[in-house]
Chains A and B, each alone.
Chain A
Amino acid sequence: MIALVALFTALTAISNAVNPAKPAPASHVAQSAAAKPTPKKTQAPKAAVPKHTTAPAKAAPAVTHAPASPAPAATTPAAPTMLSQTDIVAFTVSGSGLPSIQYGNGATTNNPSDGSGPPADGNYRPCTRP
């Protein structure tokens, strides 16, 4: 009897050793089931984070562009620019009589003809003759 009991115990132990392999799949399933939600939870926040980051990133430039566009519109009309410039020296003579005229700038000296001409070129303006 004792040998039978020992044999039964040994078989039971063996069957228990084999059975844990059967429930193991159950635990694996449980673990896999638990492992599946875990990646789902981790993927969900990962997917949500980029969505949140992209959303404000897109909104931020829109907000910055909106105030940036009215600013140049306000400054553009208030800034006139110089297109060109002319700089001349005019010699004028006026009065009465028939003066003899010379004018120049050190490098050139001009003697206008005895007669009236463009006033700014040193020619005398028509004067009242004595």
Chain B
Amino acid sequence: MTYDPNALYYAVSAQLEGSGSISDTVTEQVTTQCSNGTHAESFPLANGSADGGYGIAQAEYSNLGSGTGNAAQAEQDAGC
């Protein structure tokens, strides 16, 4: 989904149903189109994991107080 600076949080929850092993992540992906090329950059925000039974892998990133995202950082890294 599109990054929303006003969002309270970004979270993903994955619960096993009896068995298995899972992991989940929340990642912000910024693609910057410059006059000299395209630059893609990923910013890991949160991750979680669960093993066996009905375990829950919870990855949640609180967006409060950091609602600017990483667009400016990505632009700086792209050099344009």
State which of A85, A91, A96, A122 has its C-beta within 8 Å of the C-beta of B22: A96
**Chain A interface helix/strand/loop/mixed:** strand
Q: Are A105 and B9 in contact (CB under 8 A)?
A: yes
Contact among B3, B21, B25 for A91, CB-based, below 8 A: B25
In the complex, what's the smallest C-beta–C-beta distance from B15 to chain A, in angstroms? Answer: 5
The digit string for B11-45, where 1 denotes a CB below 8 A from any CB of A, is 11111111111111111111111111000000001
Verify A130–B19 contact, CB threshold 8 A: yes
Residues of chain A whose beta carbon lies under 8 Å from any beta carbon of chain B: 80-108, 120, 122, 124, 127, 130
Interface residues of B (CB under 8 A from A): 1-4, 7-36, 45, 49-50, 57, 59, 63, 69-71, 74-75, 78-80
